[in-house]
Amino acid sequence: MKILILSQYYAPDLSAGSFRMNSFVKNFTELYPDIEIELLTTMPNRYKSFHEDAKAIEKINNLTIHRFRLKTHNGGMKEQVLSYLGYYLNVLKMTKNKEYDLIFATSSRLFTATLGTYISWRKKIPLFLDIRDIFVDSISDVLKGFSKYLIIPPLKYIEKLTIKRASKVNLVSKGFYSYFRDRYPLSNFSFISNGIDDVFLNFDQTNTKNIKQKTILYAGNIGEGQGLEKIIPSIAKSLEHNYLIKIIGDGGRRRVLEENLLKDKITNVEIIDPIERSKLIQEYNNADILFLHLNSYDAFKKVLPSKIFEYAATGKPIWAGVDGYAKEFLNEEVINSAVFSPCDSIAALESLKKLQLDNIDREAFKEKFSRNKLMKELSIELVSVLSKSAP
């Protein structure tokens, strides 16, 4: 049997989708060594400021990886469309004369899922979708005016064709369920979230250093979805004598954030380019508080950021500007987390006072959300679809 996996991002690229698929593929190939996998992905291109060598073709036991070389981008919509178009054309060319038994597509921007749908239809084979975001919902919040009414209807139609074609749809956040259930009640859903990689399960928790200026760390994308430019300058100004805010990442809104900091003469914020995970762990260790923020869009009330799992595993205090399902999750699952309404600096500063500036042992959380455990479950779900489709 042979499975085609579509994931635009994969190791050694830095993204939530890459980390999720790295673990999934590792667990699947170990559980099912007799099932052949062909993974079609890209060379690292998530950030212009991060470069890492990778093989264009890599063969590891029952896994064959093809990485297509695309232009790097900083998260702008036009750049992302061009990047995806390159991936789309390469995948169609690579799969044209090949046979598979099942397609697995993981998607946060819908179109990788749609690409899987098209190949599934063309080759008349089952499709398993792993949905990490509701693209139509998210883009509806971003688009304004006439462009919104021009673009959203065809996107909804594409989403409908995509979801209805799938034999099974895994939703990474349970917050997505009401959206998909109401629109596609006959679809078969599962709920296997993101989780904690081994490197964070074995995190060496150091004691918070007793120094005058504490460090608040944010690590991740600096894009429209995070809205850092709307919150960081104001909270940094209020905390300038006691806290250093360190931001590790890149993205489409980084320049705006830097301009806002310069305009407001903020001196206690440091922004550095993305770094590999081994170095990031040391930065987590050096931090006193880990910061998370999503923009104040309705679509983000349904998401569950993968960063929560990584942060929580460190035992560090978590300061989060989120709403909806992410807020519920933090309040229910993660002790010593302080949640405030996105983009509300006054509420943010009030919630900061509730944090204990100590490391906390979150062993129960780590056991429950081990990435390996969750990806084994996803592997079993995938094979169950493959078994049902076998003649």
pTM of the model as a whole: 0.90
Percent with pLDDT over 70 in the chain: 94
Q: Mean per-residue pLDDT for 319-330? A: 98
DSSP 180-198: HHHH-TTS-EE-----B-H
* Cβ–Cβ < 8 Å for 247, 231: no
Tokens of 241: 């004598």
If one compares 230 and 142, the residue with the highest pLDDT of the two is 230
φ, ψ of residue 189 in degrees (nearest 5): -110, 150
* Angle between helix 145-165 and 111-123 (nearest 10): 40
- Look at 75-84, 179-188, 239-248, 299-308 and tell me which has the smallest mean pLDDT: 75-84
What is the band of 321 on the pLDDT scale with cuts at 50, 70, 90? very high
* pLDDT of 158 strictly over 80: yes
Percent with pLDDT over 90 in the chain: 78
Question: In sequence order, which residues have a C-beta less than 8 Å from that of residue 22 and are 6 or more positions away?
Answer: 10, 11
Distance CA 374, CA 197 (A): 10
SS3 assignment, position 270: strand
Q: How many other CB atoms are there within 10 angstroms of residue 111's CB atom?
A: 22
Q: In what order do the strands lie in the sheet with 214-219?
A: 269-272, 243-248, 214-219, 289-293, 318-321, 337-340
- pLDDT tens sequence across 65-91: 999 988 765 556 676 777 778 899 999
Whether omega before 12 lies within 30 degrees of 0, making that bond cis, reads yes
Spell out the CATH class of 198-368.
Answer: alpha beta
SS3 assignment, position 94: helix
Q: Are strands 189-190 and 269-272 parallel, antiparallel or unpaired?
A: unpaired
- pLDDT tens sequence across 250-299: 998 999 999 999 999 999 999 999 998 889 999 999 999 999 999 999 99
**Whether the domain at 2-195+370-389 and the domain at 198-368 fall into the same CATH topology:** yes
* pLDDT of 361 strictly over 80: yes
* Cβ–Cβ < 8 Å for 161, 184: no
What is the band of 377 on the pLDDT scale with cuts at 50, 70, 90? very high
Looking at mean pLDDT, say which of 33-47, 195-209, 215-229 comes out highest.
215-229
- Look at 44-48, 113-117, 305-309 and tell me which has the smallest mean pLDDT: 44-48
φ, ψ of residue 21 in degrees (nearest 5): -70, -35
- pLDDT tens sequence across 203-222: 776 655 556 789 999 999 99
Question: In sequence order, which residues have a C-beta less than 8 Å from that of residue 188 and are 6 or more positions away?
Answer: 166, 167, 168, 169
DSSP 349-390: HHHHTT---S----HHHHHHTBHHHHHHHHHHHHHHHHHHH-
Tell me what the pLDDT averaged over the chain comes to.
Answer: 92
CATH 3.40.30.10 fits 2-195+370-389, yes or no: no
State the DSSP code for 207.
P
Model pLDDT, residue 76: 61
DSSP 20-89: HHHHHHHHHHHH-TTSEEEEEEESS-S-TT------SEEEETTEEEEEE------S-HHHHHHHHHHHHH
Distance CA 283, CA 130 (A): 31
The domain spans of the chain are 2-195+370-389, 198-368
